[in-house]
């Protein structure tokens, strides 16, 4: 488990996908297990006050809290994308809000399939969008449980379910 950082961006990044994170521009990595203090404190020190933006995509409640607590006072914005367990509780100090940090959340990045999907398909057909780079596994529908296992292990980031097999 670790954090990938590029300039003022940070996002939770399991060590297994460090190589992929580098392809997207992450330059520095922090393993929370290598430190005696919370990872958000380490990141605030590394960046001289905190990051401008933090994006959390795992749904792990501790990662969500750390993402919010590592943004810079006054202008930092944390965006929660991952979906936590339904009974998870987000706990932080009220001063984190009073210091003018911003916390946002989104489901599917506010993506609207009816209006946005046709343009994505057109971009793909024009070879402007290389979706193949994002696929980590491809399994027949009959092995749907394998796809879920890969997802739960953090290994199947984007799995294609083939309906024809």
Pull the structure tokens for residue 78. 């944390």
Residue environment code for 4-27, b if the CB has 16+ CB neighbours within 10 A, otherwise e = bbeeebbbbbeeebeeebeeeebe
What's the CATH fold of domain 3-109? Rossmann fold (3.40.50)
Quick check: pTM over 0.85? no
Domain residue ranges in the chain: 3-109, 111-162
CA 83, 87, 93, 94 dihedral sign is positive
**Contact residues for 4 (Cβ-Cβ < 8 A; gap 6+):** 10, 11, 13, 18, 21, 26, 28, 29
The string of pLDDT tens digits covering residues 37-69 is: 999 999 999 999 999 999 888 888 999 999 999
């Amino acid at each position: 488990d670790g954090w990938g950082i590029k300039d003022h961006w940070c996002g939770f990044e399991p060590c297994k996908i460090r190589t992929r994170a580098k392809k997207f521009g992450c330059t520095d990595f922090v393993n929370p297990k290598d430190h005696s203090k919370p990872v958000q404190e380490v990141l605030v020190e590394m960046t001289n006050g905190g990051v401008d933006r933090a994006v959390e995509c795992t749904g792990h409640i501790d990662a969500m809290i750390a993402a919010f607590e590592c943004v810079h006072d006054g202008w930092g914005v944390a965006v929660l994308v991952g979906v936590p367990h339904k009974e998870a509780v987000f706990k932080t100090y009220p001063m984190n809000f009073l210091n003018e940090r911003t916390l946002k959340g989104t489901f599917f990045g506010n993506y609207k399939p009816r209006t946005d999907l046709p343009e994505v398909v057109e971009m793909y057909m024009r070879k402007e969008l290389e979706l193949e780079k994002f696929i980590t596994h491809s399994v027949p529908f009959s092995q749907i449980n394998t796809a879920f296992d890969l997802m739960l292990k953090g290994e199947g980031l984007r799995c294609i379910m083939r309906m024809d097999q």
